[in-house]
Amino acid sequence: MTAPTTHPGAGPGNGAAAADLDGVTRDDASLRRFLHGLPGVDQVGADARAATLATRSIKTTAKAQAIDLAIRMVDLTTLEGQDTPGKVRALSSKAMRPDPSDPSCPATAAVCVYPDLVAVAKQTLGASGVHVAAVATAFPSGRAARDIKLADTRDAVEAGADEIDMVIDRGAFLSGRYLQVFEEIVAVKQACGPAHLKVILETGELVTYDAVRRASWLAMMAGADFIKTSTGKVQPAATLPVTMLMLEAVRDFRLATGTQVGVKPAGGIRTTKDAIKFLVTVNEVAGRDWLDPDWFRFGASTLLNDLLLQRQKMQTGRYSGPDYVTVD
């Protein structure tokens, strides 16, 4: 991922784009003033706009292109206590060749696993180009001492992780200890070394849209390469209105700083129809620059199966049987 220069056509700012970020993070009081000075979110208006975007539809060739793009954006994920090396090898094989009967089917963006299974995924994926993402920092709760979180991150990177998905300390954030959260993200970013950092906000626990906007800006100012909605362990997870707000945040952050940050909704996105709603929202809110796996991802496990079934339906005119795709 390479950060482009500011793109003037990315859309209008929400007021925060003109903010002077110099000195904002020097102390807790300055950070608080900045974050609480961001424009408030009209929840009714945000919900209404997201609902309108969800009604948009695309057909034929555009739909086929959207399905292939969505496949390329999937972080194929298994984050269960019962995960085994065999399951991760199978999932990695599926990520490389989602449809073994059709070599034209693109690979997914990444495989996302726990840190102790990174080496297994890395060995299986080899030089395929599919990345290995690892959750870290005491996922999913984030309840651990900072040195443990940093060790968790370093271990995953040393095992071969290309990307780290960290969780913020929601207790600290909701208590207003913004500088603590900021400094922890900075430290984890440093521990990542060459790996990219996705910062999980766990929006289902942030309660308000204003908090989602503040957490998004906080993570980006601390150096996040991606901001991610959820762990998938808390409901609600990736909703369209919350993702829309995060897309507004990355758009305005690039207008303010020239730095582009990606967005990853995760949890609860299971159908092709849902994935297309998210892609339409990306295009309408952030702009075409984000319609790329380098800048937008789906954290999912079952979504890929539906994308494959819909892909074959468009090619053959009929739905495949239940045995067409593997059960993850």
Distance, C-alpha 178 to centroid of its chain: 21
Contact 157, 10 (CB under 8 A): no
CA distance 245 to 241: 6
CA distance 57 to 20: 39
CA distance 195 to 214: 25
* Longest Cα separation, the chain: 60
Residue 248: closest CA among 273, 220, 206:
220
Per-state percent for the chain, helix, strand, coil, to nearest 5: 50, 10, 40
Rg over alpha carbons for the chain, rounded to the nearest Å, is 19
Tell me the catalytic residues.
Answer: 165, 228, 264
